[in-house]
Amino acid sequence: YGEKIILVGHSIGAYIAIEALARRTRSNIFKGVVGIMPFLEANFRDSSYVSKDRWLRGWMWPVMFLLAFSLHVIGLLPHTFKQFFLRGNTATMDSKAKDFTVANMLRFSTITNYLFLGRSEFIHHLAPFDWTRLGSFRSHSHFLYTTDDMWAPVHCFKQAQNTGVDATLLEGVPHGFSVGPASGNQRICSWLSEKIADLSRHQ
């Protein structure tokens, strides 16, 4: 009823938000877009990213099916065994996120969905991101980057700045901030509320 939408997305969600903006059929329903650690293109400068890319795009689905089934079998084991198996993945998580991951991650449907989405993202992001997709909303876009983030690396932060987009760089906040220490959440929420307030003031 006359209210305009501010699109907010984290990681691949930021890319989806930009796509929604670019494919809009009406020009007067959005105020802008806010991307938190946006995963917009491949980062072949990072060795960890390269290994994940080769793994996800190189394996055939039968191999992934066997992997998902094997992990599902591990998921049937007692909680203590699952906790030990996932200790590397959950090391930086807070206690609630850690317990939830251990209880729910090792399921066949969850793993196959995770692999499918991950593989799709890597395939789709082979081409460099086209900043012109923001169109007239470039001046109404805010993006947050952090140091040591392979999904939203510093060189992409510099690209965003060079295109005239408002981009901010924070130190010491992980990509998965929502399952990490509360201090990271607070810093992100503070930045986010500031940018949403800024967009809300614009007509």
Domain ranges of the chain: 5-41+127-201, 47-124
Rg (CA), the chain: 19
pLDDT digits (tens, 9 = 90+) for 84-108: 999 888 888 888 888 999 999 999 9
- Quote the pLDDT of residue 201: 84
Q: What one-character DSSP code corresponds to residue 87?
A: H
The answer to whether residues 141 and 129 touch, using CB atoms and an 8 Å cutoff, is no
Cα 55 from Cα 120, distance rounded (Å): 13
Cα 202 from Cα 180, distance rounded (Å): 33
| φ, ψ dihedrals at 5, nearest 5° | -100, 135
Instruction: Kindly state the percentage of the chain with pLDDT values over 70.
Output: 98
Tokens of 101: 């991951």
Global pTM reads 0.85
CATH number, domain 5-41+127-201: 3.40.50.1820
Q: Which pLDDT band, with edges at 50, 70 and 90, does 27 fall under?
A: low
Tokens of 53: 């890319």
